[in-house]
Structure formats: structure tokens, C-alpha cells
Structure 1
């Protein structure tokens, strides 16, 4: 009886626990974003917040507390709140709701560069005299009333990059603020850094940004991107003595507004939308966004916070520049590919960080690449051993694992006090882990032999490490095998400029075509994104510091995160020269004046040496000077993007909810189809599904922004097997006719086996307006 009672009590406890678990499961809530399209013109922000609360209350049980995490009420309408799946579904069925989706978490896409771009412009104009010439100093003049907003990790206001020395007060059109926090207040802002906000979520959020609601940057990424876009000139800047020079932003006279949306767990979509909403109301001119979804997570346009926020920003005449992502070199890896966004790929510059290997005997030095502050003697006096030769006797050790320096495969006695040579492949344990393990095991230096070229110079600080290619290692292995006691040394890093070829497309830079629509060519443009020197927090929390040194106020970072603010700076300069231009006009000026050659005067390549295509670089490498005087522009406005959404597949009802800036009678054309997306007045052309014996015709319109009476003539560069006909072949602009159209017909005789690329260029003898095109059969 006692046993039976015990079992009954146990079963009761199990039943109770299961009931509690089920109850907890039923009550489990996630943060959802409720997107309601454009903010009604007649509604005040206060009224919209009340509307959001009423909508939320309508699906929440009475006994539960109703709370908005964010209310979007300036640039567009919507809110973020904690909801169950059932509540989210109920809200999605309410009138006026465009989409409801779980709050996504996005990730960051993470001196010499501006000088290099200026050199490339000089090279371009020397080869084509008169082509898009401008004032050589113009890219850094003006722009005092241009405001660049950044959605990032915050900002370190004490950085010299954000000095406002010599700047005048901003004209009265700024509506933003410099928020107050425990470690940040209004005195941290000045005439350079005019605004700073933070969107740290509440304690109940599964993805809190930081412990304090402060815009101060403890990561470093936001400080780096802000100084790249608009940092003031700082002389004698360097990374612990390496890459010394003057660090400056692309638009050093522009103002900066920081919107901190990212923290340790990433960047929440609800915070990203809140920042867009505030930035639109604050009055920024350009938004630089170096973050995005993974290439493996493909939200549609109406459930992607960046696509949503940028659409409404562009609708309010705010230029939006985004990084393309770091998931290259895989095809179809580009993100932030909405046509109203300017999407930026990453390239190298003409600077290498060389750390050479000196060998014993009469051997020549072998050139390596890495950043280290080696204190080894410059004479080759240190024992050198190949990982395979240090293989242990354990059963798990193989020649392969030892040659790649998997530490459990090595006899640690054999590597102690020696420079260890290790092969390294993409799928191996990360280089930093291997190096740390070898250092802890007693090695005094490491030479990594990579199986493929990587454009990033890894930083190893005080531990002597350098990297070489497999081809260059032949001499090293020949020497090791030729003597019983090989010796070597690793020399400290020096910065080598005028390196050729440059630029090259960085291996990590995400590639096109866009998986969302192949009828828009993405990325749009390329810019420096490898080993970029820019401002950094003076904090031990944000970086490794070499022993005996104080934290540097500058750091070297790589990623499309670094290329994006380069283009944002150029966009700010174009905007300052042409304050009434639309974001599409600015994009056109940047794309049609891009550079297509490297400093070897040959066509662009990837960093592996293969020929690059517009799927790698878009229209080419950004040209800061030529973009100021494009001659002609491809313009587009909100209604053009609504037609794009029609052709993409959205219905009229949804599109009307998304935007209220168009005519009340807007309707999607009955013949809307994805094929017609190619007709969007874009500075590039993409044609998909073109089969053998087929023809496709697209239209474009060019607006003259140069001399009033002028004629442009077309030239076409086309691959074998493609016939491209442009009608008319001449465009004669007058005072009355500033906007003219042309048509392009593409035809192929045989079925395509791969994508084909070409160029359409309009020229008046002085200015050149160049557009890439791509044709595919899929």
C-alpha cells in the first residue's frame, strides 16, 4: 500500500511538471515585428503609438501587461512586441498589417584607401584624357551640411577622428539628439558628431544589446566605419607603427549621427527598424549600414528590416548604402540586394603588409604577409622545423595532421624553441587557434603555408608569424630538406605601397547574382575593404594590445563593412554638390563613373588572380572624383520601386499599404511579371531566361545634368555570340529636352552555357557614362 501511494505521488508530480511545462510552452513568447507600411500622412506620432497599443491590446489577454518594445511612427508605421505564435497570427490578419515576423538577428559585415582611389582616378583619366575629369580636391570639399547616419555598434566620441576643429555650426535642420547614459552625454557630441542614439532592448529580451542603454562603442566596429565615412583628418595615424599616414574619412566635412543597433549577440531587426525610423525623422542625408542577414537566411522584402527601413528612407530622399556581405566567393551570396539600396562589394588596395622570412646559407628572403611585431634577431639563427617532421608517435597522428600542425599530432619536445612550418587549408582549424597552441607549446615562431591566396593580412602582434603561398613554399621546403640543421628568422612587418595588381576583389566579398531576382544586377559598386586603417576605441576591451604599449586609437579591419562607408562618404560628397538629387541619381553618378582597370592598366581580377565580372564588382571600383560630374544620370523614384514590387509579385493592396507617397489611383499593371523587372531605370542591365533564337528589349531613360546643349554617342562592348542593338545611337540634349530614352535589344543565336557580360557606354568626348549588363539563360 505504501509502495502504491508512493507511485501515485510520483505520478502526480510528473503530471504537475508536465502541466507546468505545457503551460510554459503555451505562454512562450518571442519578439515579433508588426510592419504596417507607410505612416498615414494625417496621423501624428502620438496617435500612431496609440493605434499600435490598441492593436496589440486587441489580441493580448486582459490580465497580461501590454508593452511595446518599439513603436515606429515617423518614417513608417509598425511596432515590435512580445507575442505568442497565436497572437502574431491574429495580428497578421488585422486590416492595415503588411507583415508580421519574428525579430531577426543580423550580423556585422566585418588611410591609404582614399589616396589609392585618387591614384586610380588619375590613372583612368591619363589613359582616357578628359574622361570624367573633376576638381582633384573636390572629393574632400564642401559637404559641411551633409549628415551621414550609421547603424552600427556605437561610437567612441573621444577619438581624434571625430574632432570638430574648424567646423561651423550646423544649419537648423537637424532634429536628432545626443542621448544621456552613465558613460555618455550631450557633451560627447560636437559639430562633427551631432547625434548618438542607442536601442538596447529591455532585460527580458533574449538578445540584449548591452547592459546600459548607451551609444558608446565597446566593440570598435562602429567607430571604425564612422571614421572611414566622415572622420576628420588625423596625421601620424598608424596601427602600432604600421601603416603610418594621415587617416581621414571620405567626406571629412560631413557630420556624423550614430544609431547603435548592435551588441554582443548581433543586431536585432526591431532595433534596426527603430533606428531607420528615427534617422528619417532626425534629418540624415545618407545612411551607411555595414550589417545584414547571412546569405543562408533569405528574408523577402516585406520581412527584411533593412529592405523595409531603406525603402521608407529612400521614399523620404535619404540615400541608403549597405554592405554586400562576407559570404564570398560563393555565387548568389550577395545580401542587401533591394533595388533602392546601393550595395557595396570589397576590394584590396595597393598596400601589403610584408613580413619576410630570412633563411640560412645564401638563400634569398622569401616574401610573406602578416602583421607582427617580431623581436627575433634579423639574422637567420633560429632552428626551423616542418610540422610533419615533428610528428608524434601517437596512434592518432598522421603525416597529414602533423604537416598541418594539429597540435595533438605533434611531439612538443621537437617544436620547442623552433620556428614551425605548417600547411593550412580552408577547412583546417583556424589559423589563430593553431598559432596560439603552438605558442603555448613552446614554438618561437610560425610560418603558415596557405593553399590559396587570402588578401587579408592577419594580425599576430608580438608573436612572430608570417604566411606564404604554397607556390612560394617550394624554396622553403627545398632549403629544409637540403640541410641537417635549417635555420631562419621572421622579420617584423613593413607596409609596402604601390603593390600591383590592385584593386582586386576580396575573396570574402559576397557575389551576385541576387537570389531574389536575377533581373537586377547586384552588387552595384566596389570599394576598398581590406586592411583598412580607421579610428578605434581607446579601450583594452575592444582589441589586443602588444605588451608594453598603450591601446591604439586606430585599427586595421577587413570586410564589406569597411567598403560600405567608403561609398557612403562618396555619396555624401555627391549629395553636397547636388542637394536636390534623388538617391537613385546619386547611385547612378557613382556607378556610371566607376573604374574598370587596376594599377597594371589591365582589367580587374579577384585576389585569386581570375578575371573578375560584374557579379563580383557591379559597375566597378568607386571613383570619388568622377562621381561628382557624371554628365548623365539614370533617375528613379518611389513609384518606379512600386512597379518593381508589382513585377516581383506583390499585389496592389499590399503595395498601397507599403507606400502612401504615390497617386491614390495607383494600380499594378495587368501584365506585371518578373521579366519586366529588367525595365527598371537602373544604371546596370540584367536579363535572365534568355533562350537561343530569342530577343529581349529593355528601355532606359537618361537625364542630362551637365552642359545644356550636348550630344552623347553610344558604344557597345559585347561578348561573342550576343548581338546588342541600341536605338537611337545618339542622344541630343537641349535646354528643353533634358531627359531622353533609348532601347537596347539583346539577341543570341545559340543557348547560353554561362552568364555573359558586356558594357554600354555613352560619351560626349569628355564624360563617359558606362553601364554593365549581364545575360543569362536561367
Structure 2
């Protein structure tokens, strides 16, 4: 390879301020790299923008030599023999910018240069099924025509749809990725199957058509230099979205059934951007750039920033990359995060992203605690306990095993180093897992009890009781506070340790009411702001069985081979369910925009469970749009929604205006923008309610004066002339008027608008947030939009 010095005239025109690296957690993850975002790509035929190098030279006062790597190596890098790699990654397809290792002072200087939209530290983001797809199928009541919509260019076969997965990589040998019966790879696919020491081109096939990895800017570990998954997360996610059908899948006999993805006919492209330590923003942006060029149809991201560090849109690599992907016609689906139930903890909230919360399916992995007299306390967990029904084991409350000098809260929570070994040995220990300041994971506590010679452990945790964690061979379970009171009463009522005895049984599966919204994303946990309702939708994310890496001995019971499938939970598992459905919709309606696909998924969601009652949270309360957005996703409804709300790029640009972003930065972001585009003089967040979104959210609502919003729907049913009538589910004390109350379509793809007026029926201001819905129906299709009226 030859290096050539680059000289050119820098000509660009925008200035945006530098985002200061002040957050302590971000500083702790700093690798000295800053991302410089320069808006829409201004390159020609994909050639590198020379202004990157000129900009670096103007700031650093040193020249860079360019080394052009082959497409298999993925990027152009620059090298300064005296300073080492300074420019570590460039972005030139779909959007423009670079990632560079510079000082904070140099980053501030770069932020003031013309052409720079934003500069921000390279963030470290977090990683956030047999029965689940059958469960969703039975939740869908709509019968779908066997023929796709002929007016929507949907004749493309399903196997032409490509789902891109940004995650920890893939285990290609899994049967979930076999390509049996699949046709030739679509000719429009431009992606790569990158080679590594443990990954060859033969690991890709007609199912797994692409695999890329991105060398970490601050790590030289082998994990970063291969598409192979060494964590399991990416493999699980990919197989949930689009895994091939695999008979008799199970997790060591649990959840036995036929495993399949949401759209088994779809192709998979893997973009490895994460490791065990997290996901670098610079790699995520590089993957977005490649995916835009490669030709994917749907992008699935089960990752995001911690909610406490939710970044500004202009410094969020997922929001930036997703904007340009959506502008290129790619649907982007992201997990909402697992930081609930505290308020406003949802992430990935940009309105061009389809954001997914997690719910349960109709099964429960119980691992029960049996007291004297065969009294059964129902616990939750997956363990392959060696304990039998006949032996008897002493039971002890952790507080009774306090080590001299230990903290009271620590011993109550079984914190390592807080308990007396002589009192724990041979016993089943009852531990809390709460108190706010609890810094230790369940596994750390298990290791502590096990190290002291404990026989088993029962955690008291109302939240964790809703999710089955895997504990291997150690007898462990999670119980509720109510059941704990009964256990502690049992312990205190006995007169000797020989009576405080019984055991923890192996996991078994029971059916239950579902879906329920779990603590990851409930009780206002997912309200991102008061003007766009988030999350958009909920999907199964609890106790999901899917493919796993083939060398994970840590998940295997003693004497067993590593599992081929694993059961895990989180919004990470919910996201690929929606990604698979989005790919299915795309395959039948290939010309639909990402916003049309999102609308189809949202307006056909259900708000009832498998007992035909309202969906609840795991605490038993009735779920609201704050918990599940439009509701629980269905599988067939989105294929023929009747009407869709199409959110245009102009809507998104106006959203940025209303959110207070600078007009110069906004003009830089979009590929094409009207010449007369300008932000309204009085731009403010209240206007966001009027972007053409499938849901409605209004903030600071007291009913006086009334609030008006407008929406536009497109007829996509293919029925030609049809009339839709409106019905309103209005909350008590609120008047909701829709004008007109009928929409008369004369042809397919026709657009009609309506206006909604919200006002209070009371002279007193509202004191609580209110929820309702607006539904259009023509007798065949039902198009529902939820609304939220927030008093904040």
C-alpha cells in the first residue's frame, strides 16, 4: 500500500457547538476518541471526503498519510509516524464524518470549524424463541388475505428481505442459520463476509449472507477481530428475528419445541459492534454506514446508552446513524432499555426509530421452595438443582448469620463478606435483593453463599420474580415479599434448626396470563418526553429461548455439553421480535417507507391479553401507553393495516427545529431539503405533537384552552373506494372531537387529513395524565392510534 499526502481546499458552511465531556460515567469509559459528525455525505461516488484530512491538519498542525485498505478491511485509515493512529475511522457513505484520537482541547477546536455538526466523545453503549412466536400468532385476531397488495410492489419473494443485526456477532454453525431451501442471494446485496482466524467465507451462506466486524479503537483482544460471537447475545437476537426452523429445540429439556425466527425466510447480515465490555459508538456509526451501502431492509439494534446518560440527538451515534438509514429507506428497530421502573428511563427515543418495550409470554419457569408439611412457595428461576424431595436442609434468614462488624443492609442482602461461614454452611439462605443501595448482582451473591458452604439461596425481590434468571446447578430461586413473610414466620415459629428445613426444586414450566409488562419498562419508565410517546410498541422479551454460542461452558450444568439454545430476558429479546415482523411487512409491501411499516405495526397492536382482559404490568396494575406504547405487537395485523401514517423527512427536520436544534445543523443533516425550508420563528416543543406520528402525545395539558393536532393517513388497503368512520375512547373529563368524522377514499395510496381537538369538561385543571385512543374503521380494517394527555 502506498501513502499519498492529501492537499485540498476546505469548503463547507456550518458551525455547531462542541458537547463537553462532563459526565463521570462517560469519562470512565473514555478511550481518547472523539466522533466528528458532518451531516449528510458530500462525497462523490463513495470517495473519501478530503476535507476530513484538511480539517484534522488545520487543528493538529501535522500532516497525515493515507493508507487505503481493501473493502474487506473496511475503511480508510490515516497514520502519523510520530503520533500513531490519530484518525481511526471515517464515514463517507450515507453520512459524513470521522472518529479521531485527539485531546479535549483539539476536539473543542474541531467543533468550531465550518462543516462540523457535532463533536462528542466515543461513547460505550450497553447491550440491552420457540413459544414466543406461537404466542404472538394466537394474539392476532385479524384474518389476512392470502395475496399481498398488488399495488405496493410486494411481489418480491420474502427471501429477498435482509435484516441487519448490530450486536456481538454470530455463531454461524447454529442450526438456526442453516440455508436449506433458500434461493440465491439477492443481486442487490453488496455486503461482505469478512474473514478472521476463526471465521471463513464458508461460514456465510444463503441465510447468513454477510458478516462484518469493527476493530475496537482501544482494544487489541482477539474478540474484536472476528465476526464470531463470543458472548451469545448477537446469536440469540439474530435467531429470534430470522432464525431457520429447528425441531426439538430446548434448554436442557426446558421449553422444548420447534424454534424459529419471526421471519425464517429472511436473510441475515451481522455487524459486530459489541463485545463483553460494551459497544463503541464509533463502531456503531461505521456499521450503519456499511449497512446503508450493503442494501439491508431492516436494522435491529438491541443496545443503547444507559438512561442516566441519555445523549443529545446530535451526540447519539444510534440516533445519527438511524436517521440516515431511515432516509435511505431502512427500517430501524431498537430496544427501549432495561432501566425501569424509574421515571423516564427509555432510550433510543428519536422519532425515526421504532422503539420496543418488553413483555411476557404465557409461560413461567418456576423453581419452588418447599417448606415443612410440603407447603410450596412459588419461586422463579432456572436451575438444575441436585437437591431431591426427600433430603431435608436447614433454612436460615441471612440476618441471623451476620458477621461481626458487617453492615445491617449488607447482610440482609447477602453481600459478599457480610455473613458468618459457620452459620451459613449446609443451609438454604433467605436473602433480600433490594434496599436501593444494593451493589451486588444475583450471581455475585450466589457465589458468596456458595463459597461459604451454603446449600441454596432464595432471593426476596418482587421485580426479579417476574423474570427467570439462570443459575446453573446451584439451587436458587426468587420469591415475592409476600411469600417471604410466610417463610420468615415459618422460620421463627420453629424451635430448632432441624425443623427449619426443606429444599429448592428444579425449574418447571407453567402457563400464565400474558402478556404482562415487566419492570424493565413500566410505571412511566418508558416516557421519554411529553410530546412523542415512547416506547412505540411492546413485544415478548421475557424467558425467550433462542440460539446460543456453541462453546459456552458457563451456561452448562455439570457434566453437560454447552447448550445450543439458551433462555434470556430483556428488551434486547423484544427488539428482534419486532424486527422480524418489520421484515415480514417489507417482504409483502416492498415499496413501503420505514414510517409506513412502523405505522402498520403500531396501529394494529392489541391491548388485551390471552384471557381477553386488559394487559397488566407484573405488579397487577392495568398497563398504559407509557408502558407499552400502542400495545402488544401482532403478527398478521401489520401485513394489511388499511391506513398508515407516513412520517416524512420534513417531519423529522421540523422535529429537530421544535426541539431547539440550530438551523445550520439541521440543513446539514438531510440528503435533500427544500430550498425554502426554515424553522418557524416560534419553534418550541409543543409543536412536536403535530408531526405525522401514529400516536399522539400532548404535554402541559389542562384543557384550557383546547389543544388541536392534525394527522394525515394514506389508504394502502388496495380497496379503491372505501369509507372509514372514527370512534374515540376518551378519558373521563376530557372532550375529544375529530373533524371530519368520516374519511372517504376514492383510490389506493390517496392521502386524507383530519384534526383532533382536546378540551377539558371540567373547570378545574387536570391533576393526572389521561389516556385514550382514536380508531378508524371501514368494517374490515381497524386503525387505532393511542393518545396521552400529560399534565407535566
TM-score normalised by length of structure 2: 0.88
Aligned equivalent of 1:36: 38
Is residue 86 of structure 1 aligned with residue 101 of structure 2?
no
Q: Is the 8 A contact 1:325 1:510 kept in 2?
A: no
CA deviations on 1:473-527 (whole Å, 9 max, x unpaired) are: 344344432463323122111122x312x11111022775878742111110001
Alignment of 1:584 with 2:599, yes or no, is no
Does the residue aligned with 1:656 lie in a helix, a strand or coil? Answer: helix
Counterparts of 1:687 and 1:432, CA distance in 2:
43
| Superposition deviation, residue 341 in structure 1 | 0.5
1:303 matched to 2:315? The reply is yes
Change (3 A) 1:602 1:285: same
Alignment partners' CA distance in 1, 2:583 and 2:696: 25
- Cα–Cα, structure 1 residues 608 and 207, in superposed 2: closer, same or farther, change >3 Å? farther
How far the C-alpha of 1:553 sits from its partner, in A, is 1.3
Structure 1 unaligned regions, length at least 5: 1-27, 126-130
Whether 1:52 and 2:52 are equivalent positions in the alignment is yes
Deviation for aligned residue 1:358: 2.8
Provide the rounded CA distance (Å) in 1 between the counterparts of 2:318 and 2:112: 23
- Classify the secondary structure of the residue corresponding to 2:775: strand
Tell me, yes or no, if the aligned pair for 1:327 and 1:510 is still in contact at 8 Å: no
Query: What is aligned with 1:194?
Result: 209
The equivalences for 1:196-595 within 5 A come to 196-201=211-216, 205-206=217-218, 210=222, 212-361=224-373, 363-379=374-390, 381-391=392-402, 394=404, 396=406, 404-406=413-415, 408=417, 410-427=419-436, 428=438, 429-452=440-463, 454-480=465-491, 481-482=493-494, 484=496, 485-486=498-499, 487-496=501-510, 498-500=511-513, 502-509=514-521, 517-540=529-552, 543-595=554-606
Deviation larger for 145-154 or 516-525: 516-525
Between 1:624-633 and 1:89-98, the stretch displaced more is 89-98
Q: 1:635 deviation in Å?
A: 0.8
Question: Corresponding residue for 1:652?
Answer: 663
Q: d(CA) in 1 for partners of 2:54 and 2:176?
A: 46
Change (3 A) 1:49 1:615: same
Residue 90 of structure 2 corresponds to 71
Q: Is the 8 A contact 1:424 1:451 kept in 2?
A: no
1:701 corresponds in structure 2 to: 712
Measured in 1, the distance between the counterparts of 2:418 and 2:186 equals 66
Counterpart Cα distance in 1 of 2:426 and 2:595 = 60
Q: Which has the larger displacement, 159-168 or 98-107?
A: 98-107
The corresponding residue for 2:767 is 753
Judging changes above 3 Å, is the alpha-carbon distance between structure 1 residues 460 and 107 closer, same or farther for their aligned structure 2 residues? same
| Alignment pair present for 1:777 and 2:791 | yes
Q: Cα–Cα, structure 1 residues 142 and 376, in superposed 2: closer, same or farther, change >3 Å? A: farther
Cα displacement string for residues 525-560 of structure 1 (whole angstroms, at most 9, x for unaligned residues):
00111111111111137x432110110111111111
* 1:171 correspondence with 2:189: no
Which of 588, 596, 600 pairs up with 2:607? Answer: 596
Match of 2:377, SS state, is coil
1:737 Cα deviation (Å)? 7.7
C-alpha contact (below 8 Å) 1:571/1:586 kept by paired residues: yes
- The more displaced of 572-581 and 704-713 is 704-713
* CA positional deviation for 1:132: 6.0
On the 8 A contact 2:223/2:230 being kept in 1, the answer is: no
**Using a 3 Å threshold, how does the CA distance of structure 1 residues 174 and 510 change in structure 2: closer, same or farther?**
farther
C-alpha change, 1:268 and 1:401, in structure 2 (3 Å) is closer
Aligned-residue offset at 1:133? 4.8
> Structure 1 586/512 Cα, relative in aligned 2: closer, same or farther at 3 Å?
farther
Bigger Cα Rg: 1
Q: CA RMSD in A?
A: 2.5
Q: Given that residues 700 and 791 in structure 2 are in contact (C-alpha distance below 8 angstroms), is that contact kept between their aligned partners in structure 1?
A: yes
Q: 1:407 to 1:106 in 2, by over 3 A?
A: closer
Contact 1:209 1:263 in 2 (8 A): no
Of 111, 114, 117, which aligns to 2:136? 117
Compared with structure 1, are the counterparts of its residues 395 and 288 closer, same or farther at alpha carbon in structure 2 (3 Å cutoff)? closer
Q: TM-score, normalised by structure 1?
A: 0.89
Q: Deviations over 1:443-471 (max 9, x none)?
A: 22223333556311121111112222122
Residue 167 of structure 2 aligns with which residue?
A: 152
SS in 1 for 2:308: coil
Q: Is the 8 A contact 1:152 1:289 kept in 2?
A: yes
Secondary structure of the structure 1 residue equivalent to 2:567: strand
TM-aligned CA deviation for residue 135 of structure 1: 5.8
Cα distance in 2 between the residues matched to 1:54 and 1:410: 62
- Which stretch of structure 1 is more off in the superposition, 663-672 or 274-283? 663-672
User: In the alignment, which of 764, 774, 779 is matched to residue 765 of structure 1?
Assistant: 779
Asked if structure 1 preserves the Cα contact closer than 8 Å seen for 2:358 and 2:540, the reply is: yes
Q: 1:654 to 1:447 in 2, by over 3 A?
A: closer
Call closer, same or farther: CA 1:414–1:616 in 2, change over 3 Å.
same
Q: Secondary structure at the match of 2:160?
A: coil
Using the TM superposition, give the Cα deviation of residue 376 of structure 1 relative to its aligned residue in structure 2, in angstroms.
1.6
Q: Alpha-carbon deviations, 1:391-437, whole Å to 9, x = none? A: 56x35476x76554456554433332232333443534433222222
* CA pair 421-282 structure 1, distance change in 2 beyond 3 A: same
Mean CA deviation greater in 218-227 or 466-475: 466-475
1:453–1:608: 8 Å Cα contact kept in structure 2?
no
Which deviates more from structure 2 when the two are superposed, residues 379-388 or residues 613-622? 379-388
Contact residue 454 and residue 507 of structure 1 kept, 8 A: no
Aligned-residue offset at 1:56 = 1.8
The CA deviation at 1:62 is: 2.6
- CA drift of 1:441 comes to 1.6
Task: Give the equivalent residue in structure 1 for 2:4.
Answer: none
- Return closer, same or farther for 1:672/1:166 CA change in 2, 3 Å cut-off: same
